[in-house]
Amino acid sequence: MTSDEMIALCKQYTLYSWAATGAVKPLPIARTEGCYLYTPEGKQILDFNSQLMCVNIGHAHPHVIAALKAQLDRQLTYVYPGTATEMRARVAKRLAKIVPDPINTFFFTLGGAESNENAIKAARLYTGRQKILSRYRSYHGSTHACMQLTGDPRRWHNEPGPFGFIKVMDPVPYNFSFGTSDDDITRNHLTYLEELIQFEGPHTIAAMFVEAVTGTNGVLPPPKGWLRGLKALLEKYGILLVCDEVMAGFGRTGKWFSFEHAGIVPDIVTMAKGLTSAYVPLGAMGVSDAIAKHFNENVFWGGLTYNAHVMGLAAADAVLDVMERDNLVERAANMEAVIQAEMDRLKAKHPSVKTGRCIGMFGIMEVQKNAAGEPMAPYNGSHPAMDKLAAFFRDNGLFTFVRWHNFMVNPPLTITEAQLREGFAIIDRGLEITDAAFEG
């Protein structure tokens, strides 16, 4: 099909997510390779966001493709989740070695939201409590419960939802401030959080969900000491800590999991995306030994037809091979300096750049409207200059997400320095658009 044919049929016969289908301008893609996407006519597009922050090892890696073909040739493509398979055994054992103790047991799902849904169930069943805490500056998935777990505005249109979800402000909210130093922010926020826990009733709260590094709502590492202090506070009241590593996991931040930067281990960890580099749908919920022991003796009331799907597990096994063989976690850590240097260069050159930050290869740039630092676009809003910037990126062969006053910098962990600079050169030219809208 040509690009026009592909777009017309997709818009006629399918719905698009998070959009009115009539307003969608889908990007026609015929094939992918490495860090690039290709249209049916052969136009090359640099993937600067690993699609949905998930294609961590790059596109069409031959080792993963060969592994999937080999699994097909074994004539084992699907069995129901109550069976045992070699791939289920292999991947679970590998994850137990990668994820720090005491997390050694895994429940395999189809994706990140489903992993979080099951973590909600597990926390409630294990503790006998119902309430779940999460943060406003968060995203945990678009399924029914996860939409209420989520803090960002996508939740609004999915309300009302199930009961028992309590939102708290982040240690770094959008406008309000808990302080100017990491020590002040950590102390003040945890004091606020403890008071909230007391008001809600500690005996009613099963768990708190956090992205150890906030993802789509800002790519924000927590203040120094905050995650460690949070873990201690929750333990004081018998509340579980669940770390959502769906976006930040599998090397994205320069560690296997972003909670490792804080030197803590949660009670439950959820994962997906980078687990298979999105070649095949797969997610997982990892639980501590204590929780696993509970469900060894008590029913875990969860499960879907495609859980522990052998093709997804075959992809994960091959992706872990690539991650380990090519030292992609260490590579992400080392490339942080290159990305940050490029961001700093653009900030010094362009008055509309407010800031750029990254941890590993997890990055974002913020665009400002004036010297006072007012965002170019408001919370949950847009601005003509940001719309033009997004169009410029697309027209000039760069794929990334532009949202509100931000745009993402999350390329595959396999990207070269030359390819990184190729992407930043396009961004450099595009920022002339937002500079023209800067009000001084």
Report yes or no on 222 lying in a domain: yes
Cβ neighbours for 28, distance < 8 A, ≥ 6 positions apart: 3, 6, 7, 39, 40
- Are 344 and 392 contained in the same domain? yes
Please give the C-alpha separations between residue 194 and each of 207, 247, 256, in angstroms, as whole numbers: 14, 27, 30
Kindly state whether residue 4 falls inside one of the protein's structural domains. Answer: no
Residue 213 and residue 72 share a domain: yes
Domain-embedded: residue 356? yes
Q: Which amino acid is at 184?
A: D
Looking up residue 304, the CATH number of its domain turns out to be 3.40.640.10
141 and 182, same structural domain? yes
d(CA 67, CA 64) in angstroms, rounded, equals: 5
Distances (CA, A) of 87 to 94, 329, 424: 10, 23, 40
The per-residue pLDDT for 424 is 98
Number of H helices, E strands in the chain: 13, 15
| Final residue in a domain of this structure, among 270, 293, 325 | 325
133 with 116, same domain: the answer is: yes
Looking at the fold, whether 303 and 365 belong to one and the same domain comes out as no
Transcribe 106-154 into DSSP letters.
EEEESSHHHHHHHHHHHHHHHHS--EEEEESS----SSHHHHHH--SGG
Identify the domain containing residue 300 by its residue range.
Answer: 63-325
- Rounded to whole angstroms, how far apart are CA atoms 81 and 304? 8
Q: Are residues 264 and 283 in the same domain?
A: yes
Residue type, 83: T
Angle, CA of 335, 403 and 138, to the nearest 5° = 80
Domain membership of residue 1 (yes or no) is no
Domain membership of residue 3 (yes or no) is no
Rounded to the nearest 5 degrees, what angle is found at the Cα of 40, between the Cα atoms of 34 and 43? Answer: 60
What the block records as the tokens of 126 is 């294990």
Q: Are residues 246 and 332 both part of a single domain?
A: no
- Do 116 and 201 sit in the same domain of this protein? yes
- Asked whether residue 273 is domain-assigned, the answer is yes
pLDDT at res. 440: 79
CA 324 to CA 283: how far, in whole Å? Answer: 19
Residue 340 lies in a domain: yes
Same domain, 365 and 425: yes
Last residue of a domain, one of 325, 360, 394: 325
**Same domain flag for 262 and 198:** yes
pLDDT, tens digit, 9 for 90 and up, residues 187-196: 999 999 999 9
**b/e for 159-182, b at 16 or more Cβ within 10 A?**
eeeeebbbbbbbbbeeeeebeeee
> Residue 225 falls within a domain, yes or no?
yes
In terms of domains, do 334 and 262 share one? no
Gap between the terminal Cα atoms of the chain? 48
For residue 420, the domain's CATH number is 3.90.1150.10
pLDDT at 17: 94
Tens of pLDDT, residues 80-134:
999 999 999 999 999 999 999 999 999 999 999 999 999 999 999 999 999 999 9
Domain boundary among 302, 325, 348: 325
Confidence at residue 207, expressed as pLDDT on a 0 to 100 scale: 98
For the chain (length 440 residues), average pLDDT per consecutive 10?
97 95 96 98 98 98 98 97 98 98 98 98 98 97 95 92 95 95 98 98 98 96 98 98 98 98 98 98 98 98 97 98 98 98 98 98 98 96 97 98 97 98 98 96
In the chain, the number of structural domains is 2
Report the distance separating Cα 204 and Cα 19, nearest Å: 37
Q: Which two tokens stand for residue 118?
A: 């099951």
Q: Are residues 160 and 87 in the same domain?
A: yes
